[in-house]
Structure 1
Amino acid sequence: MADITPAELQQRQQAGETPTIIDVRETWEHEERAIPGSQNIPLGTLPDKLDDLEELKDQEIIVHCKGGGRSAQAKAFLTSQGFTNVRNLLGGITAY
């Protein structure tokens, strides 16, 4: 699945859409600044949360971090676990 730009995500949110957004930064980073509606699952804990995310395997999931590196790893991991519609927020929260 193609990645998503901050502008596209913001447009969708302003239109009332509520996509699943996972912030893979550390908890303290998420507490400092978060994208509205996002849930925090730090990258290192993602393997432990797969059961919680199982129902989302075929739904769109947008992953983000500070600049895009950790979320690219998260996208690759989730895709390798059978998730079919994972998108990385280009530029991360810094660009958002």
Structure 2
Amino acid sequence: MKDRLLMYDSLRCSFMSIKKPPKSKKCPVCSDQATIHSMSDSQHITEGARGPNVCPIPSPARKMATSIPRNLHVSCLEYNEVRTSGKEHVLLDVRTKRQFEICSLPGAVNIPLESLKDDLETLEQLSDGSKPVYCLCRRGVFSVEATRVLSEAMRDHPRISSVQNIYGGLLAWSQEVDPLFPMY
């Protein structure tokens, strides 16, 4: 089985053997001068492959998470208490429409971050001056920006009464609250 890859298809209960191409001298994985030795080494490659419309976690984004006051953050557990208490609120998911269609929390309203400034009137109607707005995204990075935008817009849009960021986003939600929540 040297230089071959054995694949198993559990749906069809079949095996397939594929001949691997010869090693490339410039390959970052299989060459003699390999630079990728583990999955963590290739993290920057996989994050780049996901595209520009997802929440990345590079170090500048970690700085962005501190760009709003600490009191504007709530943990997923704190937000879950709001949900289960039945308190009226607006859950604003700022991911792209396509990402929102993949998975979302029940009751979430999707206004992508790119169009948030243009849809403030819609959000004002939903909030109705009394319902707090909780911002959410995939990893809690874009929602920080949305929280910042909305907290600044509250001066000109008084029916948006309060806004908070759900720290860690849907990734933290799946780890802290609902392990069965699908992640992509």
TM-score by length of 1: 0.87
For 1:7 and 1:41, locate their aligned partners in 2 and report how far apart those are by CA, in whole Å: 23
Poorly superposed stretches of 4+, deviation over 3 Å: none
Q: In the alignment, which residue of structure 1 is the partner of 2:137?
A: 65
Structure 1: which 5+ runs fail to align? Answer: none
Higher RCO, Cα 8 Å, sep 6+: 1
Cα deviation, 1:21-58, whole Å, max 9, x if unaligned, reads 00000111111110111100000010110111224356
Deviation at 1:81, TM superposition (A): 0.8
SS in 2 for 1:17: coil
Structure 2: which 5+ runs fail to align? Answer: 1-70, 155-159, 174-184
Q: In the alignment, which residue of structure 1 is the partner of 2:96?
A: 26
Comparing 42-51 with 75-84, greater Cα deviation is found at 75-84
Is 2:88–2:131's contact at 8 Å kept on the other side of the alignment? no
Deviation at 1:70, TM superposition (A): 0.5
Aligned-residue CA RMSD (Å): 1.7
Amino acid at match of 1:42: P
Report the identity percentage: 28
TM-score by length of 2: 0.48
For 1:81 and 1:90, locate their aligned partners in 2 and report how far apart those are by CA, in whole Å: 21
Residue 50 of structure 1 is aligned with which of 98, 103, 120? 120
* Larger fraction in helix: 1
Deviation at 1:62, TM superposition (A): 0.1
Q: In the alignment, which residue of structure 1 is the partner of 2:6?
A: none
Deviation at 1:59, TM superposition (A): 3.5
